[in-house]
Structure 1
Amino acid sequence: MTETPDTYVRERATEGRKDLRYPAAPEPLAVPVYDNHCHLEISDGDVGLSLEEQLDRAQAVGIAGVVQASGDVESSRWAVDAAESDPRVLAAVAIHPNDAPTYAEAGRLDEAIAVIDELAARPRTRAIGETGLDYFRTEEPGRAAQHASFEAHIALAKKHGIAMQIHDRDAHDDVLETLRRVGAPDRTVFHCFSGDEPMARICADAGYYLSFAGNVTFKNAQNLRDALAVTPRERILIETDAPFLTPVPLRGRPNAPYLIPITLRFMAAELGLDVDELSAQIAANTLEVYGSFA
């Protein structure tokens, strides 16, 4: 076991945010689950919490572990260090699609992907992520670098036999086309799924996993609830994407893995399932995708 990594790599902007207090802990889950996508390297809230404090808070309400996702070389190294320092963490490493053009412009994209390749070989790295396409923040000519990076990351997931977490924003058709054309890894996860019911059916038919975050609770997110309703139970995952996407009724407050029970209970109600039943299914799905945390 290595030393615990530095508490944070970066801080989240607080401009325009009114309440930076961490919310009170929700009622614990009786059946533990996992947050399969979070960014604990990002400082948020009125107090800075260490990795151990974040994990202890989560464990106290039934969150048995987290998958620490990455977006650049620095955060990928941090994720691996975190996973090697605490058995409640597994790592996902990648260059985020919005960072790929920056690396490419500096002539360093191949170098960065080579580092991801090295980190992917570490035993507690269980996913390549987050990678994919983002047409919301990146326009041409930067999208060419996104496509090249995405395909390189797909190849890495296959090479190392690990899962892949996809970031897909306003690029549904091209993400699906790329996966069809080059072939998806065996365990492909749409992180923070943002599509609709027809897309969910396409993903289900292809055997992809759909991960739902706190935005499934948002009033204007009926498309996500419709997608959840048609997703096979064995393909559902849950995440916070912390510190982002805090669920209703806590929008605007800092998000963290310990708030997973709010989203999970909402999802169970939408699906007409017992909370314990959905928890057990999601826990099993998570372990199927990423392997054991032990």
Structure 2
Amino acid sequence: MSKKVRTDTPAGPPPAPQPLPIAVVDNHTHLDISRDDGPPPDVTEALSAAKAVGVDRVVQIGCDLEGARFTVQQVEQHAQMLGGVAIHPNEAAKLADAGELDAAWAEIERLAAHPRIRVIGETGLDYFRTGPEGVAAQQDSFRWHIDLAKRTGKALQIHDRDAHGDVMRILDEEGAPESTVMHCFSGDINLARRCVDKGYFLSFSGTVTFKNARDLRDALSIVPLDRLLVETDAPYLTPAPHRGATNSPYLIPLTVRAMADVLAVDVPTLCQALSGNSEQVYGSWAV
């Protein structure tokens, strides 16, 4: 989850893009989070708008206790939605300082037992917002979440910000779960190769459409179709040409088409791969 907010946010939501020819999954969204002090999205409306453009399934991620509780409630109400729960690395450092991290872990483990919670995450490391004093707590929490994913047989979604080396080292030390997703992949081509070699899935967000993201597009270009996922990380990271607006799952087609251009594949082929990979990682939304 990215908290960076631009100050040149345009008024009003972006228009709906051209629908995709084959439906895909928004692999990581936060429908519990508002942006710029606005109201949170209406979940039913957000899902309906997404379905209208060929985004017929989403993975809702709750990355603090309030968000995790919301996620469990919502996956029970919406057939389009599966969920993930975790303590975000920045939250882990705060909870550790307050002596509340163990209790938070216990609640996350309880919530993760829900059959429509298919993800442990987002977890990982964030050295951008948490300083050196929080590194130990973040790393302990990351290790705990890796263990929970393996014990429950659920996918792991990883948040990695300014911490590539430690993220990969800890995954090697602990042993990655069978399904490991690098959420909002932000590394270069060398990190992408390492992740592909280890069998991880790489999920790309609207950042891949940004003009200054050449290194990220280079990384995308070497990822096999069977290792790719797509996401919004809504309400942030809105794809071009609407960068700075509030993101939502209905804008996924913009990212998918940009990815297809980078990969030199047709859009239906990419859509089919993204949909199949999502079902492989998370199982069926119908169950």
Give how far 1:47 is off. 6.8
Which protein has greater RCO, CA pairs closer than 8 Å, 6+ apart? 2
Aligned equivalents of 1:242, 1:54: Cα separation in 2: 11
Aligned equivalents of 2:66, 2:8: Cα separation in 1: 26
Aligned equivalents of 2:191, 2:21: Cα separation in 1: 32
Q: Normalized against structure 2, the TM-score is what?
A: 0.96
- In structure 2, what residue type is equivalent to 1:105? D
Aligned pairs for 1:103-252 (under 5 A) are 103-252=95-244
- Structure 2 CA distance for partners of 1:47 and 1:141, relative to 1, 3 Å: closer
Query: Which range is displaced more, 48-57 or 106-115?
Result: 48-57
Match for residue 70 of structure 2 among 59, 73, 78: 78
The equivalent of 1:34 in structure 2 is 25
The equivalent of 1:3 in structure 2 is none
Q: Does residue 12 of structure 2 align to residue 21 of structure 1?
A: yes
Q: Does residue 67 of structure 2 align to residue 67 of structure 1?
A: no
- In structure 1, what residue type is equivalent to 2:174? V
* 1:68 match: secondary structure: strand
Q: Is the 8 A contact 2:6 2:244 kept in 1?
A: no
* 2:118 match: secondary structure: strand
Aligned equivalents of 1:242, 1:15: Cα separation in 2: 14
Give how far 1:17 is off. 4.1
Alignment RMSD = 1.5
Aligned equivalents of 1:209, 1:229: Cα separation in 2: 14
Aligned equivalents of 1:48, 1:134: Cα separation in 2: 25
Aligned equivalents of 2:206, 2:247: Cα separation in 1: 9
Deviations 1:182-225, CA, capped at 9 Å, x for gaps: 10011000000000101000000100000000000111111111
Q: Is the 8 A contact 1:20 1:254 kept in 2?
A: no
Aligned equivalents of 2:257, 2:6: Cα separation in 1: 31
* 1:25 match: secondary structure: coil
Aligned equivalents of 2:142, 2:4: Cα separation in 1: 27
Aligned equivalents of 1:14, 1:207: Cα separation in 2: 33
Aligned equivalents of 1:244, 1:80: Cα separation in 2: 22
Match for residue 259 of structure 2 among 261, 267, 280: 267
Deviations 1:134-159, CA, capped at 9 Å, x for gaps: 11111121111000000000011011
The equivalent of 1:5 in structure 2 is none
- In structure 1, what residue type is equivalent to 2:137? A
Gaps of 5+ in 1: 1-11
The equivalent of 1:6 in structure 2 is none
- In structure 2, what residue type is equivalent to 1:87? A
Give how far 1:20 is off. 3.7
Aligned equivalents of 2:95, 2:126: Cα separation in 1: 15
Aligned equivalents of 2:97, 2:41: Cα separation in 1: 35
Q: Is the 8 A contact 1:70 1:94 kept in 2?
A: yes
Q: Does residue 38 of structure 2 align to residue 43 of structure 1?
A: no
Query: Which range is displaced more, 22-31 or 38-47?
Result: 38-47
Aligned equivalents of 2:9, 2:161: Cα separation in 1: 26
Count matched residues: 283
- In structure 2, what residue type is equivalent to 1:42? I
- In structure 2, what residue type is equivalent to 1:90? L
Gaps of 5+ in 2: none
Give how far 1:14 is off. 7.6
Q: Is the 8 A contact 1:68 1:92 kept in 2?
A: yes
Aligned equivalents of 1:34, 1:181: Cα separation in 2: 31
Deviations 1:154-195, CA, capped at 9 Å, x for gaps: 011011100010000000000000000110011000000000
- Structure 2 CA distance for partners of 1:37 and 1:15, relative to 1, 3 Å: closer
Give how far 1:71 is off. 1.4
- Structure 2 CA distance for partners of 1:287 and 1:197, relative to 1, 3 Å: same
